[in-house]
Structure formats: structure tokens, C-alpha cells
């Protein structure tokens, strides 16, 4: 198996992009600027963001995550030329 570089490409987007948008939204809500990625990752696992004595339920950022994920999927789908006879799509990177 060899890649066909003429038909290969990539779309930027993934978990780190979603975390970045949540970090920005959380920082704006808390008035602290962008929240550290590690704090966002921990909050996604626990369901609660704790920063500088403030606690926010992560569920309030679901709309941010869903909107950004939808944008990434749209970019991905629009990058695919369905007339090229694509048989396989490989997802790579940390989130894959």
C-alpha cells in the first residue's frame, strides 16, 4: 500500500482546536483571559472547571464544542471530492 499524494490532503482540526475554543470561552466568562489547556482537559474529564476559586460546570461550554466540531466536519467533508473514488479515509493525530 502506498499513498497517492496527488489525491491526499489534510484538514486542520481536532481535540486541541476544540480545547482552544473552550479555553477562550471559559477565560472570557471568568474574566481571566484564556484558560490553560491542562485545566480545560481536566475539567472536561471531571465536568467542572475550577480556576482562581471559581467553579464552572463544563456543560455550559457544550455549544462552543459542538459549533467548532461542526465547522471542522464541514471543512473535512467539503475537502473530499466524492468523484475521485475514495475508498479509504485515514484519521491521524492525537484525537484520532
Convert the chain into a string of H (helix), E (strand) and C (coil): CCCCCCCCCCCCCCHHHHHHHHHHHHHHHHCCCCCCHHHHHHHHHHCEEEECCEEEEHHHHHHHHHHHHHHHHHHHHHHCCHHHCCCCCCCCCCCC
Beta strands 48-51; 54-57: pairing state = antiparallel
pLDDT single digits (tens) 28-81: 998 888 899 999 999 999 999 998 888 999 999 999 999 999 998 888 888 777
Distance (Å, whole) CA 68 – CA 25: 12
Query: What's the pLDDT score for residue 19?
Result: 92
Inter-axis angle of helices 62-79 and 15-30, nearest 10: 150
pTM: 0.74
Amino acid at each position: 500500500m502506498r499513498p497517492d499524494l496527488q489525491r491526499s490532503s489534510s484538514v486542520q482540526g481536532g481535540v486541541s482546536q476544540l480545547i482552544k475554543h473552550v479555553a477562550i470561552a471559559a477565560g472570557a466568562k471568568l474574566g481571566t483571559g484564556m484558560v490553560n489547556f491542562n485545566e480545560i482537559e481536566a475539567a472536561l474529564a471531571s465536568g467542572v472547571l475550577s480556576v482562581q476559586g471559581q467553579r464552572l460546570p463544563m456543560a455550559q461550554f457544550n455549544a462552543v464544542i459542538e459549533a467548532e466540531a461542526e465547522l471542522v466536519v464541514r471543512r473535512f467533508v467539503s475537502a473530499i471530492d466524492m468523484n475521485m473514488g475514495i475508498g479509504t479515509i485515514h484519521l491521524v493525530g492525537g484525537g484520532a
